[in-house]
């Protein structure tokens, strides 16, 4: 029987805390807790999708149950699981009876939480600790949250509860106050590019630099989304170019956004409209283009007002992209750019619901770039 290929985001999922990208503060805190055997009984991981919340929860499960850590004080000082003992291997394979993952999006009622409360008191099947991971925890109902309170506050000594959510503001304060809270930030584009390059090399995927940058940008801070896109592209053709990546993602590459922005800032209305028409003919998503233009103009404005922000952008942009942004920020009139950005935001709002998607964007450009009467 032919086996299904393992998705890239699963194949390259971090197996130790040191492998987590872009969450250095969280990694250091959790490593220190592991070194000192001070892992808590209840955690809340929150932040955007694809930033490592559920992966980190599984790593904590491995740390708690790693057999080598339990018997080797010297190894314990590393603050990492061994990934070789029986317990680590079972968790890696997803076969451990003592790591229970609950998807709150589809198991959100009080009955599921009552089942958890009953089962949590049973001793672990073959490990030292039982770890319950509740994903999308904000989806739990009010009664379910209430039923969870006491268990969160005083779980059995052999149990650890880890809640993960993308919507922290929907979590009741009574729940959050009973947990150790960790924010998982969006990953910088530069770090996602580095990871994708390593995966492409390991998988022998030929992909253009510009296409790789577009895939990383399309992930919008989510490594998992970027890895999934790379997986899709790799199955399409042997050599992945920018055009293929643009067609799949529905976005135009940075160079095209930058090219249009350059024409707009140069106040070249005819060329700007021609450029826009060409992108439309090629089948690009113009709503996404408008969104990308807004983000691009925001960065230009930021550099115009505060050049020191270049340091902040270094995690989001390549050196070439920063050079181009600086060049445009020096050439632009700030008041004109402010008006343009406001009009682009209005156009974006109209484009999302208009049957004539291109028209609001064209109007915004014409109104801002037309020759003024003396």
Which CATH number characterizes residue 221's domain? Answer: 1.10.8.60
What pLDDT, on the 0 to 100 scale, is given for residue 108?
Answer: 75
In a domain, 3, yes or no: no
In a domain, 211, yes or no: yes
Q: In terms of pTM, does the model score above 0.85?
A: no
In a domain, 34, yes or no: yes
CB 44 within 8 A of CB 165: yes
Task: Please indicate, yes or no, whether residues 29 and 176 belong to a single structural domain of this protein.
Answer: yes
Task: Please indicate, yes or no, whether residues 34 and 83 belong to a single structural domain of this protein.
Answer: yes
Q: Which helix (H) or strand (E) holds 135?
A: strand 130-135
CA 276, chain centre distance (Å)? 29
What pLDDT, on the 0 to 100 scale, is given for residue 132?
Answer: 95
Helical spans, DSSP H, in the chain: 8-11, 24-35, 53-65, 67-71, 73-76, 86-93, 110-119, 142-153, 173-176, 189-203, 209-218, 223-236, 242-249, 254-265, 269-281, 286-305, 310-313, 319-331, 334-351, 358-369
pLDDT mean over 229-258: 85
Task: Please indicate, yes or no, whether residues 177 and 270 belong to a single structural domain of this protein.
Answer: no
What pLDDT, on the 0 to 100 scale, is given for residue 371?
Answer: 64
Q: Which domain holds residue 122?
A: 8-183
Task: Please indicate, yes or no, whether residues 264 and 298 belong to a single structural domain of this protein.
Answer: yes
Which CATH number characterizes residue 353's domain? Answer: 1.20.272.10
Task: Please indicate, yes or no, whether residues 113 and 228 belong to a single structural domain of this protein.
Answer: no
Per-residue pLDDT at 113 exceeds 90: no
**Model pLDDT for residues 46-75, shown as the tens digit of each residue:** 999 999 999 999 999 999 999 999 999 999
Task: Please indicate, yes or no, whether residues 233 and 137 belong to a single structural domain of this protein.
Answer: no
pLDDT mean over 140-162: 90
Per-residue pLDDT at 374 exceeds 60: no
Which CATH number characterizes residue 149's domain? Answer: 3.40.50.300
Task: Please indicate, yes or no, whether residues 294 and 165 belong to a single structural domain of this protein.
Answer: no
What pLDDT, on the 0 to 100 scale, is given for residue 373?
Answer: 39
pLDDT mean over 249-267: 89
Task: Please indicate, yes or no, whether residues 171 and 262 belong to a single structural domain of this protein.
Answer: no
In the chain, the number of structural domains is 3
In a domain, 2, yes or no: no
CA 144, chain centre distance (Å)? 28
């Amino acid at each position: 029987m032919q086996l299904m290929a393992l998705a890239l985001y699963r194949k390259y999922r971090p197996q130790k805390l040191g492998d987590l990208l872009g969450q250095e503060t969280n990694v250091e805190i959790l490593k220190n807790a592991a070194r000192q055997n001070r892992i808590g009984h209840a955690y809340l991981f929150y932040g955007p999708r694809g930033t490592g919340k559920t992966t980190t929860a599984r790593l904590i499960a491995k740390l708690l149950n790693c057999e080598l850590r339990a018997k080797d004080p010297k190894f314990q000082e590393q603050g990492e699981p061994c990934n070789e003992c029986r317990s680590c291997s079972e968790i890696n394979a997803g076969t451990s009876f003592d790591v229970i993952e609950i998807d709150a999006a589809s198991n959100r009622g009080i009955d599921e939480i009552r089942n958890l409360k009953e089962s949590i008191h049973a001793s672990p099947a073959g490990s030292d600790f039982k770890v319950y991971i509740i994903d999308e925890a904000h989806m739990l109902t009010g009664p379910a949250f209430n039923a969870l309170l006491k268990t969160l506050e005083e779980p059995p000594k052999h149990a650890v509860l880890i809640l993960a959510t993308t919507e922290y503001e929907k979590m009741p304060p009574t729940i959050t106050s009973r947990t150790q809270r960790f924010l998982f930030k969006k990953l910088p584009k530069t770090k996602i590019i580095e990871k994708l390059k390593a995966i492409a090399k390991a998988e022998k995927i030929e992909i253009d630099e510009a296409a790789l940058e577009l895939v990383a940008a399309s992930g919008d801070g989510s490594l998992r989304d970027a890895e999934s896109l790379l997986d899709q592209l790799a199955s399409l053709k042997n050599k992945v170019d920018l055009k293929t990546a643009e067609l799949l993602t529905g976005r135009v590459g940075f160079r095209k956004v930058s090219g249009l922005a350059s024409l707009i800032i140069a106040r070249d209305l005819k060329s700007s409209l021609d450029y826009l028409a060409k992108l439309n003919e090629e089948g690009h998503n113009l709503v996404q283009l408008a969104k990308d233009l807004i983000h691009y103009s925001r960065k230009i404005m930021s550099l115009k007002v505060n050049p020191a922000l270049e340091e902040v952008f270094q995690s989001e942009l390549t050196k070439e992209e920063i050079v181009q942004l600086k060049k445009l920020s020096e050439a632009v009139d700030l008041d004109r750019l402010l008006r343009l950005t406001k009009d682009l935001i209005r156009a974006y709002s109209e484009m999302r619901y208009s049957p004539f998607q291109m028209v609001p964007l064209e109007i915004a450009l014409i109104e801002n770039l037309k020759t003024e009467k003396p």
